[in-house]
A and B are shown apart, each in its own frame.
Chain A
Amino acid sequence: MPATTPKTRTRASAYWKGFADGAPFLLVVIPFAMLFGVLATEAGLNVLETLSFSAVVFAGAAQFTALQLMQENAPTVIVLASALAVNLRVAMYSASLTPWIGAAPLWQRAIAAYFTVDQSYACSVVQFENEPQMTVPQRMAYFTGVLSPIVPMWYVSSILGALVGTQVPDSWALDFALPITFLALVAPMLRTAAHVIAALVAIITSLLTAAVPYSLGLMIAGTLGMMAGAQAEMLLERRKLRHD
């Protein structure tokens, strides 16, 4: 699959490319949503409450955080602030997608905003960078395609988890499906020295700040990584100009 060959795409082919790219994430999404259903039921939520939680909030890590803190009887303000802090990264995703799909109609952007999650962001940004000639409607079709297998199963699996209460056995090692998938998506994106520097700075900072509460270490790491990448890009461009 040479990423550099320009391809002519239709909206339909963009949608199905997205569908194919999103489908493997079911391995991550189904157990994750089921686990939420299980834990929510154990915390005393009924099926309707569990489904509403998953549908309204639609952010796995934030949901787990809120559930955990509510069980510890934390003040509601703390529950909200902590869960939102865990989810701050989606603001970065939203910003990063804006240059690509910001020209879409407002109603489409309003819907896309709700569906901006780790999986849809990661697939989309890779696809849009690989095929920059895609039109905005094609990009929206791709984004929708990625979400099509994931979203229904996110809701269904939350309910299943709440109803059945079973969990996937640990021996399947599905905890590691997400790290492998994200590393696989990121590796081909490391095209320039600036990209590599951004990733290295972010990884090192994230390990050093792992003890910072409410996943705020991730925000520090992400921000420092982006700054390192931007600075490296400017330095490299300046050096290139001098050589030319």
Chain B
Amino acid sequence: MIDTGTLWIVIIGLGIGSYALRFAFLGIVGDRPMPAWLLRHLRYTAVAMLPALVAPQVVWPAATDGQADLPRMTAALVTLVVGLLTKNVLAAIFSGAATLFGMLWLFAL
């Protein structure tokens, strides 16, 4: 059982802390000019962080207790390739989802 006092300390502390993380740049830097080297790094934030966030879930999915899973890996690959070729986000999502469900269905037969 979680102690109520501790719970509220964690809720409030975590609320303040995670807000501070988000406010740091957006709020404090605002439209002040940032150095060129920093901007150069920030141009690659999305293409670095988002794939890094999902890569372990693709290779070791929690749903299969971390066992590499052919349908999920193939679906990820199809999504990426369709996205690269068509530059169309929705087409990539639907191809990936269709691949995932198609292969899960085939494997369940």
Contacts and interface: CB of A to CB of B under 8 A. Distances in A.
Contacts of A97: 25-26
Given A175-B61, A184-B79, A187-B84, A98 B30 contact: yes
Interface in A164-182: 170-171, 173, 175-182
A176 B61 contact: yes
B109 interface: no
B94 to A, nearest CB: 9
A60 B88 CA distance: 28
B13 to A, nearest CB: 5
Contacts of B32: 102
A114 B60 CA distance: 31
A106 interface: yes
B47 interface: yes
Interface in A85-99: 87-99
A179 B48 contact: no
Nearest to A206: B52
A76 B25 CA distance: 27
B106 interface: no
Contacts of B48: 198-199, 201-202, 221-226, 228-229
Interface string A215-232: 000100111111111100
Interface in A2-28: 2-3, 21, 24
A47 interface: no
B27 to A, nearest CB: 5
**Interface range for A:** 35 or more
A94 B21 contact: yes
A146 B87 CA distance: 20
Interface in A197-244: 198-199, 201-203, 205-207, 210, 218, 221-230, 233-234
B27 A173 contact: no
A95 B47 contact: no
Contact of B51 (A66, A94, A183): A183
Contacts of A181: 93
A112 B15 CA distance: 15
B52 A176 contact: no
A70 interface: yes
B12 A56 contact: yes
A218 B14 contact: no
Interface of B: 1-2, 4, 6-7, 9-15, 17-19, 21-27, 29-32, 34, 37-63, 72, 75-76, 79-84, 86-90, 92-93, 96-97, 100-101, 104
Top 9 closest pairs, chain A to chain B, by CB: A187-B83, A225-B48, A229-B44, A184-B92, A56-B15, A96-B45, A206-B52, A202-B48, A221-B52
Interface of A: 1-3, 21, 24, 43-45, 49, 52-53, 56-59, 62-63, 66, 70-71, 76, 79-80, 83-84, 87-99, 101-103, 106, 109-110, 112-114, 116, 118, 121-122, 125-126, 170-171, 173, 175-190, 194-195, 198-199, 201-203, 205-207, 210, 218, 221-230, 233-234
